Amino acid sequence: MTIVRQVPVTATATEPAAALLRGYVTAMNAVTRDTWVVDDFRREPDEVLGAMRPTPYELRPRFVALADDADDEPRPDQVLGWGVLNLPQRENTSWAYLQVGVLPAARGRGIGTALYDALFAIALEDDRTVFWTETEHASEAPAGPDALVAPTGSGRVPADDAGVRFARSRGWRLEQVERHSRLELPVDADRLARQRADAAAVAGAGYRTISWTGPTPALWQDAMALLRTRMSAGVPLAGLVYEEDQWDAARVRDHDDQLVARGMQIMVTAALHEESGELVAYSEFEIPSVTWDFVYQGDTFVLPPHRGHRLGMLVKAVNLQRLAADLPDVRRVSTWNAEENDHMLAINVALGFRPAGCCGSWQLKVAEPAP
């Protein structure tokens, strides 16, 4: 029998009451390492604790699976699996994200099923009817009968993968495949400078870049709120149901505060439209506290009226130059893009990113509860 318990949100990650948190992080890191065969995505208890804290915009409870003979106050090493549940509180309130993982040595014992059933029941009790999950794969499945192709026609996941089989058996539908791309650093500085210069020449004198590291300056909080609003549903979503998040300056500050609580830094380069004085594009790196040799490439987005001026390439190239100057020990950058997002993938490939796996995005819709 498997016991599923919610991880408490404690004051610190080191106190005795945080044992389940530490076990959750250890189990998650083990599963992630088993999937991706690298340690770039490992996390620390302090960072996860910061991410778990509820906000006005989303609840993020976390769960662990334990054997029924675990101690009454379980030790971290008694955690056999983990579960993620994200519940939006402002927009997308019919929507829930869930994901579960089980230690490799504990698989095949129904632990993942117990976690899934527990999280699904909690979400249903909260009147959620649209569910989203992901399966992660260290390489894209080769074309052929053993591959499941996204309905977009772009991207494949292995049909015989355990997570894929489980999702399909529960009625989930593969909607999209995202490419995981990795950039090995350092890149050729002269080549990057040329790419920046070429993009700036196309953009012309009507645009210039501005940059910052850390929380968004007060001057730009409203502008970033608009960009993040448009970004939330302005990227390819295939058949995934997701309404636009509504950001304002307060939400930008909350987002920045969450990153600080997680011990993470953010490095942003944006494009300013000189005539309007508005920010119209941005790109960001998220810098984890656990390592100095790896960063995440987060959002890159250009407002539709300003596309066609190579602003995406411009802000990404400038931010890469800043990364090389400010954090010269970074050796790898990872990012994810929808396989049908040809334009952004072309920019990434031109900058030197190479495919390094994929994620399948799955959706399940359930009937509305009876009134």
Q: Is residue 156 domain-shared with residue 196, that is, in the same domain? A: no
Domain extent for 260: 186-330
Q: Is residue 359 part of a domain?
A: no
**Residue 291, pLDDT above cutoff 80:** no
List phi, psi (to 5°) of 133. Answer: -145, 175
Domain count, the chain: 2
Determine how many CB atoms are found less than 10 A away from the CB of residue 64.
26
| Cα dihedral: 257, 265, 28, 150 (round 10) | 100
Question: Is residue 63 located within the same domain as residue 211?
Answer: no
The answer on 228 and 166 residing in a single domain is no
Q: Is the pLDDT of residue 228 over 70?
A: yes
The pLDDT of residue 369: 58
Q: Give a yes or no: residue 370 inside a domain.
A: no
Closest CA to 311 of 341, 352, 268, 270: 270
Whether 7 maps to a domain, the answer reads: yes
Say whether both 97 and 23 belong to one domain.
yes
> Residue 370: pLDDT above 90?
no
Residue 371 has pLDDT above 70, yes or no: no
Question: What gap in Å lies between CA 343 and CA 257, rounded to an integer?
Answer: 32
Last residue of a domain, one of 155, 180, 205: 180
Which pair of tokens denotes residue 67?
């054997």
Say yes or no: 73 and 8 in one domain: yes
Q: Where does the pLDDT of residue 1 fall: very low under 50, low under 70, confident under 90, or very high at 90 and above?
A: confident
Burial class (CB in 10 A: 0-12, 13-18, 19+), 143: exposed
- Residue 102 has φ and ψ, to the nearest 5°, of -130, 140
Q: Is residue 352 part of a domain?
A: no
Determine the longest span between alpha carbons in the chain, in angstroms.
68
Residue 141: inside a domain: yes
Q: Does 354 map to a domain? A: no
Contact 10, 18 (CB under 8 A): yes
| Whether the predicted pLDDT of 277 surpasses 70 | yes
The model's pTM is: 0.95
Per residue in 144-187, pLDDT (tens digit) is: 999 999 999 999 999 999 999 999 999 999 999 999 999 999 99
Task: Count CA atoms closer than 13 A to 184's CA, side-chain side.
Answer: 3
Domain boundary, last residue among 156, 180, 204:
180
CATH code assigned at 190: 3.40.630.30
Tokens 């929808």 -> residue: 338
Tabulate helix, strand, coil % of the chain (nearest 5): 35, 30, 35
Let me know whether 162 and 243 are in one domain: no
- 217-228: burial string, b at 16+ Cβ within 10 Å, e else: eeebbebbbbbb
Count other C-beta atoms under 10 Å from residue 152's C-beta: 17
pLDDT of residue 187: 98
Asked whether residue 283 falls in the same domain as residue 138, the answer is no
Q: Do residues 198 and 315 both lie within one domain?
A: yes
232 and 112, same structural domain?
no
Q: Cα-atom radius of gyration of the chain, to the nearest Å?
A: 21
- Residue 353 counted as domain residue: no
Burial 301-325 (b: 16+ CB within 10 A, else e): bbbeebeebbbbbbbbbbbbbbbee
Taken in order 188, 190, 195, 196, the sign of the CA dihedral is: positive
Say if residue 241's pLDDT is above 80: yes
Q: What is the mean pLDDT of the chain?
A: 97
Q: What does the block give as tokens for 130?
A: 């649209």
Judge whether 156 and 147 are in contact, CB under 8 Å: yes
pLDDT tens digit string along 85-133?
Answer: 999 999 999 999 999 999 999 999 999 999 999 999 999 999 999 999 9
Mark whether 160 and 16 lie in a shared domain: yes
Spatial neighbors of 295 by CB under 8 A, at least 6 apart, are 267, 285, 286, 287, 288, 323, 327, 330, 332, 333, 334
Residues 19 and 119 in one domain: yes
